[in-house]
Structure 1
């Protein structure tokens, strides 16, 4: 049964933000950092950031089972993989993963693509599920362990074949992926996407294998997020969850995580900065960037008018 650790009263409200380099010198975030106190570096990247905030038995993050359980509620006692719609670009040395997930699909389009792929997975003893347009899953047969496959953030922009399982045990996965790519390359929906100026969906990215963890722990009291995997971890840990709305952000408090790491810096400025400024006046903020840098800003830090220079 999932449970969370008691949240220490001194834990500040944490803002999880994009890489620091994405914030231009003129961005108001830079002015806030100039008055804040630097902290020890944290984990870098999306998955490492999740692992730092949530403890999962065994250390591996079974993203497939977690997200399937959140969306469909049927992940228990089965091995799952994420099978995210993807775009790969062939080049002289192989093929590069250029996009994965968030491919501007609706459910009807996702189902049309998946219908063509289901027999391939069935022949391999697996079941392909379209849990949502952006989140597809593969259910593995009883007794089969999920392979170790790279997460999208680890493989994006790189030769995808460098991230596939090797050897005899990996051969079936390489053959399966090749069959998937042949079918998707020929699918008429991709011709329509090219006419609309959209990238083709010519592969699936298989990753995040494993079974549903029974005991997820965290020191967080709650999260504000639209991220499916983060939300699924929070639910398994038994903590409070709010979607990212203006009301939820304005009411964010100590011990919570406000997840903004998936947003462009410009959108944070345009849509969320007024609320962040108000939060900074009321309570300590731990400003955690996906690139690992962290600063602690306390309300009285606004009086540090003598601090200048860029960060």
Structure 2
């Protein structure tokens, strides 16, 4: 008889749910769950708990480039995604990036045209195999500063998340030049006239070369995040769009729920049906992995832990 599979729910930090509380049945199950020691906080550390990557880092630009174009080997890559920033009294804020701008292929090609000589002269050719994901090709030995991922910078002060130090100075200068080119591009006036966000900046992030090895014990990944899907593909794990609610998987699977902010929706669409699958023996175990490093593990026998108090919050 084939053993029942396990499921992992990848979640945002517990603080993302604020003061929301679980209803009694889910709170009881949470109170009776196993609570492993907290892991390292952060989005990359969270993914590295489920994927073995050597060297131990996540060069998302190279991973997504390989998924998009199949030519990432032999070069370092840096994402230079189209972005919309809005000046304010304190500086500027990153308000949209990549897919959120809903660029068409012809628009991306038009915007890239004047950027190609700028980055080509700097030794970093730019192109876009998809309208929402733009890439700079770098020498494999290129030394790059740390660039913040868009999820870390959205809504925040742009200047607090730019590359710092001597290594970052060159990239800040290139960004300034690119912003001038994009600000003056006639396509942006046309987009503004249609009520669309202007592409007036780029966002550099995810730099590096392809890892030597990517592996995972997972058999499936459900996610709408192209970076996670590219990581899964590199590990040989089938990845597809996320579902709206839980259904017991055929094999060990990870479900990407990091975009959720409604605890009631999470309980109704995911926790409750997963607990039901545990009770029926369709699921051997369920793990919650939060971005802040916290975690919970559920198994069928925990329902007998009557002495445990209910826990209505994901925060311990």
Aligned match of 1:25: 21
1:50-97 deviations in Å (ceiling 9; x for gaps): 233223223332111100001111111111001122222324443333
Q: How many residues align?
A: 302
Q: Deviations over 1:203-239 (max 9, x none)?
A: 1111111111121233434322232222222222233
Matches within 5 A, 1:61-210: 61-103=58-100, 104-141=102-139, 144-210=142-208
Contact 1:55 1:216 in 2 (8 A): yes
* Shift in Å, 1:17: 1.9
1:13 aligns with 2:14: no
| Aligned 8 A contact 1:66 1:229 in 2 | yes
- CA distance in 1 between partners of 2:125 and 2:67 (Å): 18
Cα deviation code 1:174-227 (max 9, x no counterpart): 221001111222233433444455443221111111111121233434322232
> CA separation of 1:279/1:132 partners in 2, compared to 1, >3 Å: closer, same or farther?
farther
Kindly indicate whether the alpha-carbon contact (under 8 Å) linking 1:82 and 1:206 is maintained by their aligned counterparts in 2.
Answer: yes
Task: Determine the structure 2 residue equivalent to 1:285.
Answer: 286
Partner Cα separation in structure 2 for residue 29 and residue 132 of structure 1: 42
What 5-or-longer segments of structure 1 have no aligned partner? 1-8
Segments of 5+ residues of structure 2 without an aligned counterpart are none
Q: 1:153 to 1:297 in 2, by over 3 A?
A: same
CA distance change for structure 1 residues 259 and 147 in 2, over 3 Å: closer, same or farther?
same
Match of 1:252 in 2: 249
Corresponding position of 1:56: 53
Q: Residue deviations 1:234-269, cap 9 Å, x none?
A: 22223343443479x524256432222134437646
Could you state the TM-score of these two structures normalised by the residue count of structure 1? 0.80
Offset at 1:286? 0.7
The residue matched to 1:250 in structure 2 has which SS? coil
Aligned 8 A contact 1:79 1:146 in 2: no
Q: 2:44 aligns with which of 39, 47, 51?
A: 47
Q: 2-side partners of 1:142 and 1:296: how far apart? A: 41
